[in-house]
Amino acid sequence: MKYVEQHDKQKECTEAFKSGKNIIVLFWGNRVGKTEWGGQTVAREVLEENNYEVWSFCPSFDEQKDTTQKKLLNYIPEHRIKDRVWLRKGILKEIILDNGSKITFKSYEQGREKAQGAGKRLIWFDEEPPKDIWEECFVRQEAGTQLKIILTMTAIKGMTWVYNDIYLKTNNPDLFISKAGWDDNPWLLEEQKQAMSRGLSEQVLKVRRNGEFVKMVGLVCSWFDRTKHIVDINKLPLGDTYFAIDFGFSNPSCGLWVRIDRQDNYWVFDGFYRKEMTNPKLQEIIRMKEQGILGIIHRVGDSAQAGDIRQLNDYGIEITGIKKIVGESKESWDEYRARLMEERGVIQESTNKPKLFISSSLVDIDDNGDEFNFLMRELENLRWEEIKTDMGIESKPIWGKQPKHAIDALSYILTSIKRSTVMDYNYTPQPVKPFYPELGI
């Protein structure tokens, strides 16, 4: 096993596995080597560890024969196999090694009940599993043992539960996510890439070639790319500082702080996203977070919340109300804001970068107690409202019912800047203060 050659993406996953990450997920395109890596990793573990029990899941037993089973037999020496238990001709049920380690093959077709049983050390899912099977496997851990889980898949089913529950969980310290496409496999020839591309649509190519999740139909911010827009902001550039607030109580209140630099780039560097925030609580968190920010802070909010704005003004937190007026354009309010976001968010040809950057630490706690980047989540899920007509499904020029509190706050800044070109740049660079949701600050 130590002589197996791996490409760089496979090496990264191996290092993550060895470093103690409990959940390794590969969102890779076809022919990039995801199942190969899974076979290598499982084989290494059962060969090196005694009495090591593994479950190997596949969509069906028929697929197992040519995928997971084949890969494992390639990497486990024949003389180390003590016994084979056959499910039926050509399809294995178990592989038992001379050191007591065992691999049990399972199929998603068997359902949740077949994912019950304790004492497993490693579970390998090849291709996307049903959610109930995935959840069932997380309770298969015995006291005193560490359970590791591998998921190797191409997102051919689109934005399913995997997208929301795994791909978006960027702040889970036990989770390592890898994305890779054809260009990451140095052994894949250009002629092979061209042959595999023939007859495939652009959307299908995004999935098969790049391992991407296909954007949902009617997505407002189709330009958003977390690899381009989500960045580590360690020091703020010179520029104006803006704060925007979207009020709420049973729904979250959201505040965003944005630095606009000399090149007209927008840096969303801090914020909050919380329910049951009274105005006294809001003024406390605003004051706390603005400590150390030099210069004038331009604060804006929805003019429809005049009472809340007035009360914060009474506390000394001066906020200007933004009216939902789009001017001479015939666009709806949501169309206008969508265009302003796209102007900042699209990748510039001259720089290959957008003009909107969102801090990777812009996180708060959701209803499940998990950390999440609230602006990223909203941008990736906001869709145009759709209605059924005699002509089929039609999009309306308003946004749907998805949460958009952070997007509302961002759009208040965008609209206020659009209506005023006054900018000054008298501020010096300053470190960005970390955000500690577990401490309530």
Q: What number is the average pLDDT over the span 298-312?
A: 94
Structure tokens of 163?
A: 């997208």
E strand or H helix at 12: helix 8-18
pLDDT band with cut points at 50, 70 and 90 for residue 387: low
pLDDT of residue 168: 85
E strand or H helix at 81: strand 81-88
pLDDT of residue 389: 53
Model confidence pLDDT, tens digit, residues 245-266? 999 999 999 999 999 999 999 9
Q: Which residues contact 383 (CB under 8 A, 6 or more apart)?
A: 216, 217, 218, 219, 220, 399, 400, 402
Q: What number is the average pLDDT over the span 392-411?
A: 80
| CA dihedral of residues 230, 231, 234, 235 (deg, nearest 10) | -90
pLDDT of residue 1: 53
Percent of the chain with pLDDT over 90: 59
pLDDT of residue 237: 94
**Count of CB atoms situated within 10 Å of the CB of 270:** 23
Cβ proximity of 270 and 435 under 8 Å: yes
Match 């759009």 to its residue by tokens.
Answer: 411
CA distance 97 to 311: 71
According to DSSP, residue 212 is labeled P
Number of H helices, E strands in the chain: 14, 19
Q: What number is the average pLDDT over the span 111-115?
A: 80
pLDDT of residue 435: 37
Model confidence pLDDT, tens digit, residues 324-351? 876 555 567 888 898 899 889 988 878 8
pLDDT of residue 410: 97
Structure tokens of 376?
A: 């990223």
CA distance 182 to 430: 41
Match 């937190």 to its residue by tokens.
Answer: 317
CA distance 324 to 425: 28
- Which amino acid is located at 96 in the chain? I
| Structural domain boundaries in the chain | 8-214, 227-439
pLDDT of residue 208: 84
Q: What is the CATH number of domain 8-214?
A: 3.40.50.300
Strands 239-246 and 297-302, by their bridges, are: parallel
pLDDT of residue 412: 95
Cβ proximity of 227 and 360 under 8 Å: no
Q: Is a pLDDT exceeding 90 seen at residue 376?
A: yes
Q: Is a pLDDT exceeding 70 seen at residue 426?
A: no
Helix-strand-coil split of the chain, %, nearest 5: 35, 25, 40
Q: Which residues contact 281 (CB under 8 A, 6 or more apart)?
A: none
pLDDT band with cut points at 50, 70 and 90 for residue 430: very low
Model confidence pLDDT, tens digit, residues 40-52? 999 999 999 999 9
For residues 127-166, one letter each, b for 16 or more C-beta atoms within 10 angstroms of the residue's C-beta and e for the rest, the string is bbbbeebbebbeebbeeeeebbbbbbbbbeeebbebbeeb
pLDDT of residue 204: 72
Phi first, then psi: give them for residue 440, nearest 5 degrees.
80, 20
Q: Alpha carbon of 188 to those of 30, 327, 366: distances in Å?
A: 11, 53, 42
Cβ proximity of 395 and 251 under 8 Å: no
Q: What is the pTM of this model?
A: 0.54
CA distance 203 to 209: 10
CA distance 182 to 191: 12
E strand or H helix at 104: strand 102-107
- Which amino acid is located at 91 in the chain? I
- Which amino acid is located at 291 in the chain? Q
CA distance 406 to 375: 5
Q: What is the CATH number of domain 227-439?
A: 3.30.420.280
Q: Is a pLDDT exceeding 80 seen at residue 422?
A: no
**3-class secondary-structure state, position 357:** strand
Which residue(s) pair with 242 in the sheet?
Answer: 258, 298
Structure tokens of 19?
A: 């470093």
More confident residue, 429 or 391: 391
pLDDT of residue 341: 92
pLDDT of residue 427: 30
Q: What number is the average pLDDT over the span 194-219?
A: 74
**Count of CB atoms situated within 10 Å of the CB of 90:** 12
More confident residue, 295 or 255: 255
- Averaged confidence pLDDT in the chain: 86
Structure tokens of 126?
A: 């090849």
pLDDT band with cut points at 50, 70 and 90 for residue 431: very low
More confident residue, 171 or 430: 171
